[in-house]
Structure 1
Amino acid sequence: RFHPGEEANDEEFSRLLAKLADFYVNDAFGAAHRKHASIVGITKFLPSAAGFLLQKEIEYLQGVVNHPVRPFVAILGGAKVSGKIDVIRNLEDKVDKVIVGGGMAYTFLKAKGYNVGESLVEDDMLDLANEIRKGVIAKGIKFYLPVDCVIAQSIEPGAETKLVTAQELPSGWKAVDIGPASVKLFSEALESAKTILWNGPMGVFEVDAFSRGTFSIAHSVADAYALTIVGGGDTDLAVSRAGVSESISFISTGGGAALELLEGKDLPGLVALTDK
């Protein structure tokens, strides 16, 4: 992306790129959500096709969005509710259970009236979080939030930690991982699943002391008798560090691209190939 014509999807720059080849194959799913010259513009000037990896990504991710084998469980984690709202909305007519962990869980918990201390919260999303949780439950979908959590006053390695219930987070402390009762609750929710989609870690797993919840869920997903799909850069790193990558059915190479596909959005890189 060092040439200004790349991000601008400039037609003349696209034409110059096309002169370098006789045929164009896009196998970069992780960039398929970008409307750039090397992804979209170049397809106007060369015979174009999807590579095998791109094809596999579409088959798995669109399959789980459009025709999941049920019961279907979605595990959503990561920092922010705002980044996963559209995923929940797009999946809510196909999913049987939604498990929410990671930083985004504390926006939902605060919206329920819980004291969440200094945990990450998007205050401008509280009403929407409540609306979405209630709407999902009204459709008969089971909605799981952490019932206990590991807390610390900082996310530095070596920081003092405590285990508390989700209702009793003290001021000055922040949630950094889900606790063992949450791991048990979430893992039991996975037992009957035929399809599991996991996007987003359960806590600050990059710090060893805060990684147990995420790694435990990784093992539960890997042990499930189900089609298991992991998407998002942080989540694939988590399953790798947990040592269970080989036991996951499919690990997406896309971060933003996977998220946009799960949101039901059209990816410019795919539209450009479809038009061909």
Structure 2
Amino acid sequence: MMEHEFNTMDDFDLEGKTVLLRVDVNSPVDPLTGDLLDDTRMQLHSITIKELHQRGAKVVVLAHQSRPGKSDFTTLKEHAISLSNIVGCEVQYVDSIFTKQAQDIISNMVNGEVVLLENLRFFSEEMPKLTVEEQKNSILVQSLAPLADYYVNDAFATAHRSQTSLIGFAEVLPSMAGRVMQQELSSLYGILDNAQQPRVYVLGGIKADDSIEVMANALKTDRADCILTTGLVANIFLVASGVDLKEYNYNFIVERGYESYIDVAKELLKDYSDKIILPVDLGILENESRVDYAVDEVPNLPIYDIGLKTIELYKEKIYSAKTLFANGPAGVFEMKEFSKGTQDLVNALSLSEGFSIIGGGHLAAAASNMNLDGEITHISSGGGASINLISGKELPAVKALVDSAKRYK
């Protein structure tokens, strides 16, 4: 069996079978009305739901919305309404997860019926870091698995997380990838397994920990020939290299909780300074407009973009690459004057003759807004999952599917 081999929906006859389907329909919610503000993820997973419905499976959809303590941590009632409209059949909302009512509904389902159980994160077993054995023996898995014939994981966007609904069911049921998961893994593994040099990573955005972890893993496993830093990632590395970005920008790094990453960046620069490329200039918000400064001349004002000279330098690196991976915008691209770094780099990715991958999130949105998403080889639906996979890290949910395929050939 190949290293990445897993079962798909093509490997089983699902007619009349009860299928537990894990999706990721986590969506922005209007805090005042509770209305869903975007249905992109539901559109994405509707392909898998619709196919299972048409093939006569009894479809039990498992999903989450946000996390405890967040303003958008809410029920999945609105999600069921939205999914019903998108899929073209009723998706019945069940306001519990494994109560007797929920179990009775599942037991009495007819072929082609679709139900959506309540937000999985309402249950305390879903999010803690449990061992695989603990996940397998959890109340969630032990309550629902006996009612099902198969488990389908379509939630690629959460595949980098080891959570009970993502791992536990694959331990006790014949399991397979849904269409979103299958397409993501086939595309990403296909590119990675045939990655040609130079391999250039463009890493930025406000979630610096994700990008720095990817960078470290990619460099240590010799998967990257060049790292172009942008956004907050670049600022952290500039500080680590000894550049004084002044109090305002240093405090921003601290406020975001990334001060400890300065030491991480120092270690990476010590070992891989020839591969990590830093900006030579930066776009600064000064008197409500953009002014570019060399990195060693930055005033005590907000950094909102990489500079014009840096953009040209990075474009040359992108054009020469054979394999490209990009994650995170270069700056505050929502502001027109500071969108140039993000837009120019996305445009360069689209024009490059190499294989190009964008790891979802804001950069994917920027590509879509520029009508360039069709020019990128692959835009992932899962930022965290894709960047972990690209950097060589094992995805727990994918490992669970691969292990299941070995048990159920």
Query: TM-score normalised by the shorter chain: which range applies?
Result: 0.7 to 0.9
Structure 2: which 5+ runs fail to align? Answer: 1-120, 129-134, 405-409
C-alpha separation in 1, matches of 2:269 and 2:190: 25
Range 207-216 or range 253-262, more displaced:
253-262
The yes-or-no answer on 1:217 pairing with 2:217 is no
C-alpha separation in 2, matches of 1:212 and 1:108: 21
How far residue 159 of structure 1 moved from its aligned partner, in angstroms, is 3.0
Instruction: Specify the alignment match of 1:7 in structure 2.
Output: 127
Q: Relative contact order, CA 8 A, sep 6+: which one is greater?
A: 1
Structure 1: which 5+ runs fail to align? Answer: none
* Residues 44/2 of structure 1: CA separation in 2 closer, same or farther (3 Å cut): same
* Residues 94/268 of structure 1: CA separation in 2 closer, same or farther (3 Å cut): closer
What letter is aligned with 1:165?
Answer: A
Question: What does 1:235-274 correspond to in 2, within 5 Å?
Answer: 235-274=363-402
Question: What does 1:1-276 correspond to in 2, within 5 Å?
Answer: 1-7=121-127, 9=135, 11-19=138-146, 21-62=148-189, 67-79=194-206, 81-92=208-219, 93-117=222-246, 118-119=248-249, 120-121=252-253, 122-137=258-273, 141=275, 143-152=276-285, 159-171=288-300, 173-276=301-404
Instruction: Specify the alignment match of 2:90 in structure 1.
Output: none
Moved over 6 A (4+): none
* Residues 256/20 of structure 1: CA separation in 2 closer, same or farther (3 Å cut): farther
How far residue 59 of structure 1 moved from its aligned partner, in angstroms, is 3.5
How far residue 182 of structure 1 moved from its aligned partner, in angstroms, is 1.2
Cα deviation, 1:56-94, whole Å, max 9, x if unaligned, reads 322444455565211111111012543333312221212
Larger Rg: 2
Range 76-85 or range 42-51, more displaced:
76-85
How far residue 2 of structure 1 moved from its aligned partner, in angstroms, is 2.2
Contact 1:177 1:211 in 2 (8 A): yes
C-alpha separation in 2, matches of 1:252 and 1:14: 29
C-alpha separation in 2, matches of 1:33 and 1:17: 23
**Over aligned residue pairs, what C-alpha RMSD do you find?**
2.3
C-alpha separation in 2, matches of 1:194 and 1:96: 11
C-alpha separation in 2, matches of 1:66 and 1:81: 27
Cα deviation, 1:79-130, whole Å, max 9, x if unaligned, reads 2543333312221212221100111111211222222132243443333313
C-alpha separation in 2, matches of 1:34 and 1:124: 23
Aligned-pair identity (%): 36
C-alpha separation in 2, matches of 1:271 and 1:94: 21
C-alpha separation in 2, matches of 1:14 and 1:183: 50
How far residue 210 of structure 1 moved from its aligned partner, in angstroms, is 1.8
* Residues 191/220 of structure 1: CA separation in 2 closer, same or farther (3 Å cut): same
Contact 1:116 1:174 in 2 (8 A): no
* Residues 19/203 of structure 1: CA separation in 2 closer, same or farther (3 Å cut): same
* Residues 81/64 of structure 1: CA separation in 2 closer, same or farther (3 Å cut): farther
Q: Aligned pairs, how many? A: 268
C-alpha separation in 2, matches of 1:114 and 1:80: 21
* Residues 134/64 of structure 1: CA separation in 2 closer, same or farther (3 Å cut): farther
* Residues 6/126 of structure 1: CA separation in 2 closer, same or farther (3 Å cut): closer
Q: Per the alignment, in what secondary structure is the counterpart of residue 177 of structure 1?
A: strand
Give the TM-score normalised by the residue count of structure 1.
0.87
Contact 1:90 1:262 in 2 (8 A): no
Contact 1:17 1:38 in 2 (8 A): no
Q: Per the alignment, in what secondary structure is the counterpart of residue 75 of structure 1?
A: strand
C-alpha separation in 2, matches of 1:43 and 1:82: 29
Q: Per the alignment, in what secondary structure is the counterpart of residue 4 of structure 1?
A: coil
C-alpha separation in 1, matches of 2:192 and 2:264: 23
C-alpha separation in 2, matches of 1:260 and 1:73: 16
C-alpha separation in 2, matches of 1:34 and 1:94: 22
Give the TM-score normalised by the residue count of structure 2.
0.60
Q: Per the alignment, in what secondary structure is the counterpart of residue 163 of structure 1?
A: strand
How far residue 248 of structure 1 moved from its aligned partner, in angstroms, is 0.6
